[in-house]
Structure 1
Amino acid sequence: MPAALHYDELKEAISRAYPGLPKQLQLIARFALDKPNELALGTVAAVADAAGVNPSALIRFANALEFGGFSEMQQVFRDHLIARSASYRERIDQLRQGGQPRGNGVLHQFVGEAVAETSATWKKTSPRPN
């Protein structure tokens, strides 16, 4: 049974394991924490390519975190993605019930939040000029 069944537990497990991981697995750890949605939705080959590692390294990474394989670990990321999308649906329902703007007003709010989140992630991961 894996050590981490929930996304927050998995993030902590990755952070704890990181210093002792080989370089290739550290690349995967950074990718997993920086781009959890890509890991949740990608195939082994696509995730490996995006992370710049061999596909077999993803299986070793999952095993290092006490998962039986990549798919088992990926499910934790998928569950997190589903939970986040459910929270968006709940927020839309709350806005509608509270008499808040419908349609484009809600869309603009969510797009603005998504852009802000993406921008913050990009700033963290983009190379700094010398």
Structure 2
Amino acid sequence: MSFCNQIKKRFIRLSRGQRKVAQFIIDNPNVIATHIASDVGKLIGVSESTVIRFCYAMELSGFSELQQKIKADLTGEEITVEESNQKAAKKNVNLLNEVMNRDVACILNTINLTNEEQFDQAIKLLHQSTSLYVLGLRQSSPSASFFTCTLSNYRKHVKQIQPEPENIVKQIGTMEENSLLFVLALEELDEDAFKITKWAKSRNVKVIAITHSNISAIRDYADIMFTVGAQKNALAETITAAHSLIHALVEGMVAQNKKEYKNFQKANAQFDNNYLYLEKTLYI
């Protein structure tokens, strides 16, 4: 089946803007094969992001893969990713736009997946919890560190759970009912993250999770679960969307009591400055 026929089969499931893109592709495949995403958007009268979101709706990795499919329709032969990449390089396709628009599309998809009521509940839990623990293993660990550092700028008692078994046992053992565990599971389900979440939940702590899939097994033990990205998104795009959601959650938490959080931030910054001054003095 040609790719244009696949578009026709899925046409009814597309949004209004995506249908404009779909119809243009069916009517003008040569234009798609020879123009970059931003130019196509201008010709259709939609944003470049809408073009990229259409690609994701068709379960493609991005505009480059769409061009591969259309070129294969036009020539009657499959174009490999390697050949497409070589041609793209020769035509000086704007890689910056391509990559960053995939990030934008991933963030926009996350917005659509996020329940506003759950978002409000999450920022209240972040604000009200006495102690806050952040868990992220393997490729989710850098995101957990980012979240921990960001939160630590505004409030006390924020700890990142370290992956060593003895640390996990010790830190979960200190959790109380007014504690909050924030789990970041941005890759394929990590059995260790699932077990730790289940164990923490047995201590009656609240659990908020950000996962890559809305069918993640962590759902059974999370009070609130957010899904970022989509099935076709690369991990880097999923992480970008997760960090944007984290930013929004922290801003929401701060909005609960701006004066309190800003005062803590100032005091924390002053402490850091005094510490650096003392450290320099000791080495003079």
TM-score range, shorter chain: 0.5 to 0.7
Q: Is 1:32 the equivalent of 2:25?
A: yes
Q: Do the aligned residues in 2 keep the contact of 1:48 with 1:55 (CA within 8 Å)?
A: yes
Q: Provide, for residues 2-52 of structure 1, a one-character-per-residue CA deviation record: whole Å limited to 9, x for no partner.
A: xxxxxx431121111111211100000100000000011111111111111
1:22 alignment counterpart: 15
| Counterpart secondary structure, 2:2 | helix
**Could you tell me the TM-score, scaled by structure 1's length?**
0.54
Q: Do the aligned residues in 2 keep the contact of 1:28 with 1:51 (CA within 8 Å)?
A: yes
Distance 1:50 1:65, change over 3 A: same
| Counterpart secondary structure, 2:46 | coil
Structure 1 residue runs without a partner (length 5+):
1-7, 85-130
Q: Is 1:71 the equivalent of 2:64?
A: yes
Shift of the alpha carbon at 1:81?
3.3
- What's the % identity of the aligned pairs? 31
Tell me how large the CA RMSD over aligned residues is. 1.6
Shift of the alpha carbon at 1:83?
4.3
Distance 1:83 1:9, change over 3 A: closer
Q: Do the aligned residues in 2 keep the contact of 1:28 with 1:58 (CA within 8 Å)?
A: yes
| Counterpart secondary structure, 2:6 | helix
Q: Which structure has the larger Rg over C-alpha atoms?
A: 2
| Counterpart secondary structure, 1:66 | coil
For 2:76 and 2:7, the matched residues in 1 are separated by: 20
For 2:5 and 2:75, the matched residues in 1 are separated by: 20
Q: Do the aligned residues in 1 keep the contact of 2:2 with 2:73 (CA within 8 Å)?
A: no
For 1:49 and 1:59, the matched residues in 2 are separated by: 13
Q: Do the aligned residues in 1 keep the contact of 2:29 with 2:70 (CA within 8 Å)?
A: yes
Q: Structure 1 or 2: larger helix share?
A: 1
| Counterpart secondary structure, 1:53 | coil
- Pick one of 29, 38, 52 that aligns with 1:59: 52
Q: Do the aligned residues in 1 keep the contact of 2:3 with 2:73 (CA within 8 Å)?
A: no
For 1:54, give the aligned amino acid: S
- Pick one of 32, 37, 43 that aligns with 1:50: 43
Q: Structure 1 or 2: larger strand share?
A: 2
Considering Cα pairs closer than 8 Å and 6+ residues apart, tell me whether 1 or 2 has the greater RCO.
1
For 1:75 and 1:48, the matched residues in 2 are separated by: 18
